[in-house]
Amino acid sequence: MTNWTEIDEIAKKWVREAGSRIKQSMQENLTIETKSNPNDLVTNIDKETERFFIDCIQQTFPGHRILGEEGQGDKLHSLDGVVWIIDPIDGTMNFVHQQRHFAISIGIFENGKGKIGLIYDVMQDELYHAFSGEGAYMNDTALPSLREVPIEEAIIAVNATWVTENRRIDPGILAPLVKRVRGTRSYGSAALELASVAAGRIDAYITMRLAPWDYAAGCILLNEVGGIYTTVEGEHFTFLDNHSVLAGNPAIHKIIFNDYLHADK
Ligand code: IPD
Ligand code: CA
Ligand code: CA
């Protein structure tokens, strides 16, 4: 039988160790490459951090499977068994340009069900963690269930790239929404944005295209605090595909979905 307490403890230990390695590596010169476009960055540290997790997992839990952003894990077509979904550095652009506001993000699933979510803000030394059914925490502080917030008092995180990239939802709907809410933010790390929704620091996050390693851990945190997440079309996540993400506290998710994204229906 899978010993989830052991997995939880060791995963947290590895995440903190990987964070220390990343901090140390910041004294050295980075090798920076680009991936899908000139602004899609990857460094030697992204790859080395993913390798670190893969080596640890394969040695300790040889039956577990791994979906990692940098492609050094397994090629997965299902979430059968125990699967680790890993983004070794979420917010690589922040890592390269700002040396802060980036995170290690790990979601661990059993037959498609999220069991453990870990998002480690390395420079703040803040580990957001959740264990299915046992709540979510930031370090030792429990994250309370999300409370209802009037839309006029909501802060929403929006990835501005949707204005240029999105073809299915009219970007024009953004203006009245931005006008109505109290404020907007864009942190440049989907994992930290989702952790911030779970912590109640922002009330919703909308973005048009994320990969499973960007959102897996955040969704496990959200499950524990009563957060809701769907695609902008209202579909459930498979945790294997890239798609849009609308995550938030239930009241704000509902208003953004009904009154803005789908007001014409
Ligand atoms: C990116 C960040 C960013 C989001 C991008 C992601 P990366 O992840 O989460 O905030 O807008 O869609 O790809 O490339 O830094 O791991
Ligand atoms: Ca990412
Ligand atoms: Ca990454």
pLDDT per position as a tens digit, 52-68: 999 999 999 999 999 99
pLDDT digits (tens, 9 = 90+) for 175-198: 899 999 999 999 999 999 999 999
Residue 223 near residue 114 (C-beta atoms within 8 A): yes
C-alpha closest to that of 130 among 43, 12, 213 = 12
What is the structure's pLDDT at 163?
Answer: 64
Using a 10 angstrom Cβ sphere, with 0-12 exposed, 13-18 middle and 19 or more buried, the burial of residue 12 is middle
pTM: 0.96
Q: Kindly report the protein residue whose alpha carbon is nearest to atom 13 of ligand 1.
A: 210
50 lines ligand 1 (CB under 6 A): no
C-alpha closest to that of 157 among 119, 127, 123, 189 = 189
CATH says 151-261 is which class? alpha beta
159 lines ligand 1 (CB under 6 A): yes
Reading phi first (left if > 0) and then psi (alpha if -120 to 50, else beta), residue 135 is in left
Residue 242's contacts (CB-CB under 8 Å, 6 or more residues apart) are: 209, 210, 211, 212
Q: Could you confirm whether domain 4-142 is CATH 3.30.540.10?
A: yes
Tally of CA atoms within 13 A in the half-sphere of 250 that contains its CB: 8
* Residue-wise burial string across 189-226, b where 16 or more C-beta atoms lie within 10 A, e elsewhere: bbbbbbbbbbbbebbbbbbbebbbbbbbbbbbbbbbbe
**How high does pLDDT run on average in the chain?**
94
- Domain ranges, ordered by start, for the chain: 4-142, 151-261
Ligand 1 atom closest to Cα of 69?
16
Q: Report in angstroms the alpha-carbon separations of 153 from 121, 202, 251.
A: 26, 10, 12
pLDDT digits (tens, 9 = 90+) for 193-237: 999 999 999 999 999 889 999 999 999 999 999 999 999 999 999
What is the structure's pLDDT at 164?
Answer: 67
Ligand 1 atom closest to Cα of 93?
15
Q: Is the pLDDT of residue 168 over 70?
A: no
Testing ligand 1's pocket by substitution, the residue of 45, 121, 210, 243 carrying the most ligand atoms inside 8 A of its CB is 210
90 lines ligand 1 (CB under 6 A): yes
210 lines ligand 1 (CB under 6 A): yes
